[in-house]
Amino acid sequence: MASSRSLLLSSPAKLNLFLEILGQRPDGYHELLTVFERISLYDTIRLTEIPSPEIIIHSASRDIPLDRANLAYRAAELIFEYCGIKKGVRIEIGKQIPVGGGVGGGSSNAACVLTGLNRLFSLGLDRQSLFVLANQLGSDVAFFISGRRFAVGRGRGGDLSYPKIPQKVRLWHVLFVPNRNILTKDVYERFDRGQKEPKMPQKPPGIFKLTKKCQDVNILLSYLKKADFVSLNRKIYNRLSETVMDSYSFVSEIKSDLSKQGLHSVHMSGSGPTLFTIFRNRKIAQGVYEQARLRLSDRCRIFLAGTV
């Protein structure tokens, strides 16, 4: 009997170096402006063809669903339906990326399934077709399809453009992931409620905010291109950070402790709760990582990662 075809893939995480929310869309999602960075924190995805027309997910992790609630399952379901595939697949997920951390593990897994099944079954879909499928699944999936180190995302996050960042530019990070996760849905609901509360003084409506934030993104990208890490740290921004810090004390307490230890430029990725720092080289980041493991490993998971 012929052995089943199989494919082993690496599924990277991401950080958001910039995240602004520009309003709500008619489809219920939020209009975003964000800068993605792909980093060297990976899950592994093994795809194995099976003869029966079913999708089977296996993982040793207890933190992810093994049914249609998993975005990787829905990615397989979507591409099978789109291409009329009558066979099935076993998806084995080795989790290293924190679940619910705001670093895109689920979206990356889904992107790996799309690109992997395209290869495994020789479907011949071009990248644009994969983007169309990706944007039906979630806001970050298209970024992982792109294969780029950095991208600017608009719309729900899937309308991508690619800044020309020199290949020699590489950021190093220490990531601090609290032992409790946060649901993206809850963070956006809290943010929306906060936006409806009256605030004084109110800024007049118009396109000023959008224009200013576009300028801020361009300034951030200019510092990134020049590898000006001091200025870059000042321009990293996440609109959801205040909501998370106000709503989840376990995140704000870790950030406060990091500040007391001398890490004053600590940022949040996505809807949190992952916090991260930026360094110009691995040696400096490694030192901070080793110290942090001694002091904070009982309260959060700590990772060392760089741009890939």
Task: Mark whether 78 and 185 lie in a shared domain.
Answer: no
In a domain, residue 90? The reply is yes
Per-residue pLDDT, 212: 65
Q: Are residues 145 and 247 in the same domain?
A: no
User: What span, in angstroms and rounded, lies between the C-alpha atoms of 168 and 50?
Assistant: 42
Active-site residue, from 14, 43, 235, 255? 14
Paired tokens of 26: 């008619």
What's the total number of domains in the chain?
2
Do 153 and 184 share a domain, yes or no?
no
Same structural domain for residues 187 and 139?
Answer: no
- Phi then psi for residue 80, to 5 deg, are -65, -45
Give kind and range of the element (H or E) at residue 177. Answer: strand 172-178
Judgement on whether residues 21 and 141 belong to the same structural domain of the protein: yes
Tokens of 254: 């870790």
pLDDT per residue as tens, the chain (308 positions): 455 799 999 999 999 999 999 988 888 789 999 999 999 999 999 999 999 999 999 999 999 999 999 999 999 999 999 999 999 999 999 999 999 999 999 999 999 999 999 999 999 999 999 999 999 999 899 999 999 999 999 998 999 999 999 999 999 999 999 998 888 899 999 999 988 765 545 444 444 455 567 668 999 999 999 999 999 999 999 999 999 999 999 999 999 999 998 998 999 999 989 999 999 999 999 999 999 999 999 999 999 999 99
Quick check: is 1 in a domain? no
Evaluate the CA torsion angle 103, 100, 271, 142 in order and state its sign.
positive
CB atoms under 10 Å from CB of 108, counted, come to 28
Percent of residues in the chain assigned helix, strand, coil, to nearest 5:
40, 25, 35
- Residue that finishes a domain, picked among 161, 189, 207: 161
Three-state SS at 162: coil
- Mean pLDDT value across the chain: 92
- Regarding whether 79 and 210 lie in a shared domain, the answer is no
d(CA 146, CA 162): 9
pLDDT at 196: 76
Same domain as 296, residue 209: yes
Same domain, 98 and 209: no
Domain presence at residue 167: no
pLDDT digits (tens, 9 = 90+) for 247-286: 999 999 999 999 998 998 999 999 989 999 999 999 999 9
Give me the domain span that covers residue 199.
172-306
Residues near 116 by Cβ (< 8 Å), separated by ≥ 6?
A: 7, 9, 45, 47
What pLDDT score does 198 carry?
Answer: 58
Q: Give pLDDT, residue 207.
A: 42
Residue type, 207: I
- Asked whether residue 46 falls in the same domain as residue 132, the answer is yes
Instruction: Map tokens 């990248």 to a residue.
Output: 127
Task: Judge whether 166 lies within some domain.
Answer: no
Distance of CA 183 to the CA centre of its chain: 14
Spatial distance between the Cα atoms of 40 and 13, rounded to a whole number of angstroms? 7
Verify whether residue 196 is a known catalytic residue. no
**Domain-located, residue 245:** yes
The reply to whether 224 and 297 lie within a common domain is yes
Residue 202 belongs to a domain with what CATH number? 3.30.70.890
Q: Are residues 149 and 29 in the same domain?
A: yes
pLDDT tens by residue, 182-207: 888 999 999 999 887 655 454 444 44
Q: Which residue has 């063809």 as its token pair?
A: 49
Cβ contact 36:151 at 8 Å: yes
Query: What pLDDT does 215 receive?
Result: 67
Domain boundary among 161, 192, 222: 161
Q: By the 8 A CB rule, do 40 and 306 touch? A: yes
Which of 107, 135, 161 is a domain's end point?
161
Please check whether residues 46 and 154 belong to one and the same domain: yes
- Asked if the structure places residue 259 within a domain, the reply is yes
Task: Indicate whether 246 belongs to any domain.
Answer: yes
pTM for this structure? 0.92
Q: Of 43, 140, 235, 255, which one is the catalytic site residue? A: 140
C-alpha to C-alpha distance for 180 and 182, rounded to whole angstroms: 7
Residue 137 in domain: yes
- CATH number of domain containing 129: 3.30.230.10
Q: Annotated catalytic, 140? A: yes
